[in-house]
Chain A
Amino acid sequence: MPNVPEWLRRHPRLAFGLLAVLLAVLPFIVGAGLGRGWVRVLDFALLYAMLALGLNIVVGYAGLLDLGYIAFYALGAYLFAWLSSPQFGLHLPFWLVLPSGALLAGGFGVLLGAPTLRLRGDYLAIVTLGFGEIVRIFMNNLDAPVNITNGPQGINLIDPISIGGVSLGVRHTILGVHVFPPTFYYYLFLFFTLFTILVAMRLQDSRIGRAWAAIREDEVAAAAMGIDTRSVKLLAFAMGASFGGLAGGLFAAFQGFISPESFNLMESVMILCMIVLGGMGNIPGVILGAVLLTVLPEALRYLGAWQRATLGHVVVDPNDLRMLLFGLAMVAMMLFRPAGLLPSRQRKREFRAEDGVAGQEAASLYDAQA
C-alpha cells in the first residue's frame, strides 16, 4: 500500500498488532464518540465488506460481471428466516443455519452460472440482473397460495444469534459496562469478515486464482492451457454466492426482520460500486470501498441537521445530496483513478495499457498530426 509509514513497513508484526487492537476497541470508541447508532453503521460496513469481497471473486478475479449478486444475499437471509423464526416455527441454531444459507446460495450460484457460461460482458450482466430481480419478485409474491415468504410484509421476529445460550440480541452487562447488541454483532461480523478475507486471499494466490485470472485475460488461451473454463467459472460463481449467502444469514439475524425491499437492484449496483471504487481485484481496496460507501451516506445525514441549524430549514434533502455526491465521486474517480482507490497491481496495469507500445504509437501519431 502506498501511504504506510516507513517504520510500520519495517515492522509488519507491530502494524498487525496495532490494527488488531484498533479493530478490537473500535466499537467502544465509536460508540462513546459518535453514539450507539454508529456502531450499527460499523456492523453494516463489515457486512458490505463481506458482500463486496464475495462479489469481487466473481467480478474482480474471474471477470464475470454479475449484477444480480444481491439475490444470494437474499437467499441466505430468507433461509435464515425460514429456519429460525416463528414463520414455520423452526428455531434451528445459527451454526447450522448460516452454513446452510451459504450452501443454498452457492447452489443457486451454480444454477445461475450454468446457463450463462457462454455469455460475457454486457450480456452476462443483463441475465444476472434479471436473476436478481426474479429472486426478489419471488420473495415478494410467495405468500400465496402457500405462505412461504410472507410477501411484501417480510418475515419478522427472526431469532438473534446466540452463542452458548447467550443471546447477542439483548444488552449484557460485562464488568459493569453495558454492552449492546450492535457491539456483539460487530465482533461476530469481524470474525466472518476476516474469514472471508483469508479465503479470498488464499484462493487468489492459488492455482484456482491463477485460472480465474487467465480466464479473465483470455478465455480461449486459458482453455488451450488445460483449464476447464466451465467448471472454473462455475466455481467462481459458487464461491462468490456462498459469501453472499453467509452475509445474508448474518443480516437476517442482526436485523431480526427482512423483506424483499432490502434486496433490490440498487443494492447489487451499490456492492459493485464498492468494488469499482475501491479497486477491483484488490482485497484492501474492496474493503475500503465497502467501508467508504457505507459510512459516507450516514455521515452525510448530518448535513440535514446542519442546514436546519445554519439556514433555518433544509434546502437540499441530504438523501438527494447523497446521490449527487455519489455520482460526482464516481465521475471523479473514473477521471483520476480509473482503476480504483487502491487498485490491484494487475488491474493498474490493465488500465495503464496505453503506456505500452500502442500508447506510445498513438501519442506519436498525435504529435505527427499536430
Chain B
Amino acid sequence: MTTLLTVENVTKRFGGLSALEAVSLTVNSGEVYGLIGPNGAGKTTLFNCMTGLYTVSAGVIRLDGVPIQNRKPHQIVNRGFARTFQNIRLFANMTALENVMVGRHARTRTGVLGAVLHSRRCLAEERDSRERSQAQMAFVGLKDRGRGLAGHLAYGDQRRLEIARALATEPKLLALDEPVAGMNPNERREMSELFLKLRDAGITLLLIEHDVKLVMDVCDRVAVLDYGKKIAEGVPDEVRRDPAVIEAYLGGAVA
C-alpha cells in the first residue's frame, strides 16, 4: 500500500490560539480514512489547511510526496485533491448540472478565443464536460436531476451533488467534511454505500464524521483529534477502546 497523503507536524495558530498543534498523519492510497473528534477539535481546520483555504503556521503536507501546504486551492485541486464542505456550499442559483460542470474547470482548457470562435476543440470539450458531469451525477445517484436548480434539491441530494461536483475534478483523494450530518439512519446507510462505491472506484476518501457507527463500518483507519492534537490513530476497533479517546469524548472527570 502506498502513501498518498502525509501530514507532518502541522500547526495552525489563529493569533494566540493553536487550532492545530503538530498534527501528523498518513493516508494510504485506496483506503477510507476517518477523522473524528469532539466539536472544536480542529478537524475542519485541518481540512482547510490541507486544501489550501488556510495557510499552515508550521509543518509540511505532502500529496504523492509533493509538498502542497500553503498552495492555492486550485493548485491543490489540480494535483487531484478535492473536497466538500461541512455547511453545503453549492452554487445555489445554477442548475445541478452546471454545478458539476464547474468542477470540470480544472480539467478543461478552453480559453477566450476558443470559446468565442467555437473552435472544434472547444465544442468537443464542452460536450465531453457535459457527458462526464452527467455520468458523475448518475454515479452519486442523481441521474437526470441536472436541470433543476441546485438550491432546490432536497438536503440529502445537495450533499450528493457536492460530491458529484468534487468528483468532476477527477480527484485521487476526496475529503468529505461531515457528509452525513443531519441525515436519518436510512440516508446514512445509503451514503456509506456511496462511500464504499467511491473507494471501489479507486478514490481514496478522507472523512470527517461524528457518527461512530458509520466510522466503524466504513473506515479502514481512524485518527482522533482533541484540542488540536492527535490523540489516537489506528484501526477503528483499537481506537474505540483507547482510554484517551474515551476520555476526550466522555470527559476525564466522568470516566
Binding site for B on A (CB under 8 A): 198-199, 202-203, 206-211, 213-214, 217-218, 220-230, 235, 239, 346, 349-350, 356
The 0/1 profile, CB within 8 Å of A marked 1, for residues 54-85 of chain B is 00000000000000000011100110001101
Interchain CB contact under 8 A, A203 and B112: yes
B159 close to A (CB within 8 Å): no
With A206-B122, A208-B110, A356-B151 already in contact, the answer to whether A226 and B91 are too (CB < 8 A) is no
Given the contacts A218-B91, A221-B89, A224-B73, A207 and B106 also touching, CB distance less than 8 Å: no
In the complex, the answer to whether B116 meets A226 with C-beta atoms within 8 Å is: no
* Interface segment, one of B18-26, B93-101, B180-188, B217-225: B93-101
* Neighbouring A residues of B111 by C-beta, 8 Å: 208
Flag whether B129 is at the interface (Cβ < 8 A): yes
Which residues of B108-148 are within 8 A (CB) of A?
Answer: 108, 110-112, 115-116, 118, 122, 125-126, 129
A346 to B95 alpha-carbon distance, docked (Å): 9
Grouping DSSP codes into helix (H, G, I), strand (E, B) and loop, the B interface class, with mixed when no group exceeds half, is helix
Instruction: Show 25 A/B contacts (Cβ-Cβ < 8 Å), sorted by A.
Output: A198-B116, A203-B115, A207-B101, A207-B108, A207-B125, A208-B115, A209-B115, A210-B105, A211-B102, A213-B91, A220-B89, A222-B91, A223-B73, A223-B74, A224-B83, A224-B89, A225-B77, A225-B105, A226-B105, A226-B107, A227-B74, A349-B149, A350-B93, A356-B151, A356-B152
Given contacts A202-B118, A349-B93, contact A226 B77 (CB under 8 A): yes
A180 to B126, CA, bound (A): 46
CB-contact partner of B91 in A202, A208, A214, under 8 A:
A214
- Cβ of B6 under 8 Å from chain A: no
- The interface of chain B, by Cβ under 8 A from chain A, is 51-53, 72-74, 77-78, 82-83, 85, 89-94, 98, 101-108, 110-112, 115-116, 118, 122, 125-126, 129, 149, 151-152, 165-166, 169
With CB as the reference atom, state the residue of chain A lying closest to B168: A225
B101 proximity list for chain A (CB < 8 A): 207, 210
- A202: which B residues are within 8 A, CB to CB? 115-116, 118
A207 and B105 form a contact (CB under 8 A): yes
Q: How far is the CB of B123 from chain A (nearest CB, A)?
A: 10
Q: Which residues of B contact A235 (CB under 8 A)?
A: 112
Q: How far is the CA of A356 from the CA of B78 in the complex (A)?
A: 35
Say whether, besides A202-B115, A202-B116, A350-B93, A222 and B110 are in contact (CB < 8 Å).
no
Docked-complex contact B98 and A210, CB < 8 angstroms: yes
**In the bound complex, CA of A359 to CA of B44 (Å):** 30
Q: Is the Cβ of B112 less than 8 Å from the Cβ of A228?
A: no
**A346: B residues at CB distance < 8 A:** 93-94
Check if A213 sits within 8 Å of B77, measured CB to CB.
Answer: no
Known A207-B115, A211-B105, A346-B94; contact A226-B110, beta-carbon cutoff 8 A: no
Of the listed residues A214, A222, A226, the one surrounded by the most CB atoms of chain B closer than 10 A to its CB is A226
Q: Which residues of A contact B52 (CB under 8 A)?
A: 223
